[in-house]
Amino acid sequence: MNGEQLETLLNCEDSETVVAVAQVRRPTVTEALEAAEPFLAVLAGRRSVRQFAPDMPPRELILRAIEAATYAPSGMNKQPWRFIVVTDQQVKAEMVARVEREIETILALLAGDEFADRVGGYLRNYATLFRRAPVVINVLYREYGQVIASLLERAQISYPENQEEAANPAMQSVAAAIQNLQLAAHALGLATCWMTAPLFAKKELHQLLGVEPPWQLVAVVPIGYAAHPRLSAPRRLRFERIVRWIE
């Protein structure tokens, strides 16, 4: 974040305008739950799919899912995401080849390690399962300067305890966009899988896909129609294990 950008941020008015509104009747709990049920059903019904039918989804559905991704919240509305859609079979095959080469290099370095030998076959398959989908969406993101860090830099103050950078809001923002993408795809009758294993070959994929700094690949999302539409729900942690209410 440069000085001009910071001045703009500090001098701008609050984006939320306070307006007087008439008292309106709030829905009851039952009404709210009933109204939200279709959306909650989409959340509960989404699955990570690794087997795809060969049918090519209509471009309109892919673009609609990507549009939904852009509705995600982002710090200071930076929208630090881009999407590269691959349907070309040769490009997809080259993506697979580059990931496979990188994995083989890593496994060669680990030769003789009992655990590496056992999981090698699994890793070769898992990291390239996007090859089975007719469409592959490569999700990019870029870092951006944080407000507190920029203020400290302008004042030439060293403050090692600043933890804002560690929060990585750019990464959090693009993660929200990827979830929106998956949920929208599911609502449109499509299947997806959020993959990071291909990032073993991140530099090689950057070269292939023409990704230039400051952008970098953060996830590969295969998308298409599920080969087996009915998938059982994965086990979820019990609610009491994940929620702590302080009151």
Lowest mean per-residue pLDDT among 40-49, 210-219, 230-239: 230-239
Looking at residue 222, its pLDDT comes to: 98
Q: How confident is the model at residue 112 (pLDDT cuts 50, 70, 90)?
A: confident
pLDDT in tens, 44-101: 999 999 999 999 999 999 999 999 999 999 988 999 999 999 999 999 999 999 999 9
- With bands split at pLDDT 50, 70 and 90, how would you rate the model's confidence at 165? low
- pLDDT above 90 for 229: no
Q: Position 60: which residue type?
A: E
pLDDT(166) > 90: no
What pLDDT is attached to residue 158? 74
Note the pTM of the prediction, 2 decimals. 0.85
What pLDDT was estimated at residue 19? 54
What was the pLDDT predicted at 122? Answer: 84
Half-sphere exposure of residue 64, counting CA atoms within 13 Å on the CB side? 13
Determine the pLDDT at residue 109: 87
User: Pick from 220, 194, 230, 11: which is nearest to 95 by CA?
Assistant: 220
Predicted confidence at residue 164, as pLDDT, reads: 59
Quick one: CA dihedral 210, 215, 216, 222, positive or negative? negative
pLDDT at position 7 is 59
Residue 144's pLDDT is what? 84
CA dist 86 and 95 (Å) reads: 10
Instruction: Give the Cα separation of 27 and 115 in Å (integer).
Output: 55
Local confidence band at 237 (pLDDT 50, 70, 90 cut-offs):
very high
Mean per-residue pLDDT of the chain: 88
Task: Give the lowest-confidence range in 17-21, 182-186, 192-196.
Answer: 17-21
Residue whose token pair is 């984006």: 15
The three-state DSSP-derived secondary structure of the chain is CCHHHHHHHHHCCCCCCCCCCCCCCCCCHHHHHHHHHHHHHHHHHCCECCCECCCCCCHHHHHHHHHHHCCCCCHHHCCCEEEEEECCHHHHHHHHHHHHHHHHHHHHHCCCCHHHHHHHHHHHHHCCHHHHCCEEEEEEECCCCCHHHHHHHHCCCCCCCCCHHHHCHHHHHHHHHHHHHHHHHHHCCCEECCECHHHHHHHHHHHHHCCCCCCEEEEEEEEECECCCCCCCCCCCCHHHHCCCCC
Q: What is the pLDDT of residue 115?
A: 82
Name the packing angle between helices 89-109 and 114-126 (round to 10°): 180
